[in-house]
Amino acid sequence: MTGIAQYGTTLIPYMVQYRVRRTLGIEVHPDRSVVVLAPTGIHPDLIRQCVMRRGTWITRQQRYFDRFLPSRTVREGIADETWFYLGRRHMLRLHKVAQPSVKLTRGTLVVHLPDPGDRAHVKRLLTAWYHAQSLERFSDVVLMALETMRVRHPVRTPKLSYRTMARRWGSCTASGTLVLNPDLIQAPVLCIRYVVLHELCHLVYHHQGKELFALLVQVMPDWRRWKERLEKNS
């Protein structure tokens, strides 16, 4: 079941999961979603009142997670724009050539296409190129991260999938698949490694609790630095 609670001028949408439990519990997830764990049979009004009462805490948690959401600097696909690749700035160069292609040469991203003024085509070519690069690079980062992880904790090799997510850099599904946002390819390698190690830790500890962070600091002592760098990345 879902509901919406009014907290001051803010509307808080929430999802309800009924459980065999006696009290109401509220979770705020990194994607800002709110989940209420409710005893079976409780009246929806009581749930909404509880969400309203916890409004201060919920909105504070959401603001905290907002800091870590991928910011999107909109790029138009025009010449001389700056595009990031592995944390480095690259100037966009467009050339009128019949056969479309994308190449990285000495700090520039060179796009060949029939009509350099066709911004949508430029962006499609770059998105496909970034995606191809992320397929290649991320699997290397995952292999190295697994090696580091296995020194501390036996984890099996997770399935890897890619998904452009508006509000996350990565996630680990309940079935143990590692989902990575291809846009991460714009960030420095150590930021990618941080996201991968964070999600690998979720293979061991599902919840975002102190055990997870204790393991994370073991496998990447300076993880906070790369998390902050990721926030400022784009």
Q: List interacting residues with Zn ion (CB under 5 A).
A: 208
Residues near 143 by beta carbon (within 8 Å), at least 6 away in sequence: none
Q: Which is nearer to Zn ion, 90 or 198 (CB)?
A: 198
Whole-number minimum distance, CB 90 to Zn ion, in Å? 30
Place of tokens 């999938």: 161
Q: Which is nearer to Zn ion, 38 or 178 (CB)?
A: 178
Count of C-beta atoms within a 10 Å radius of residue 153:
14
The distance from CA 135 to its chain's CA centroid, rounded to whole angstroms, is 16
**Nearest distance in Å: CB 115, Zn ion:** 43
Least distance CB 92 / Zn ion (angstroms): 34
Instruction: Considering the complex, state which of residue 65 and residue 162 has its C-beta at the smaller distance from Zn ion.
Output: 65
Q: What is the DSSP string of 6-35?
A: EETTEEEEEEEEEES-SS-EEEE-TTS-EE
The answer to whether 70 and 168 are in contact (CB under 8 A) is: yes
User: Can you tell me the distance from the alpha carbon of 39 to that of 43, in angstroms, rounded to the nearest whole number?
Assistant: 10
Among residues 148 and 208, whose Cβ is nearest to Zn ion?
208
Closest distance of CB 171 from Zn ion, Å: 8
Residue 211 CB, shortest distance to Zn ion, in Å, is 12
Both tokens of residue 176?
């143990």
Q: Look up residue 191 and give its two tokens.
A: 């930021």
d(CA 25, CA 23): 6
Give the CB-nearest residue to Zn ion. 208
- Residue placing its CB nearer to Zn ion in the complex, 48 or 198: 198
Tokens 């603001």 map to which residue? 63
Cβ-based nearer residue to Zn ion, 24 or 180: 180
228: CB partners within 8 A, 6+ apart? none
CA separation for the pair 218, 50 (Å, rounded): 38
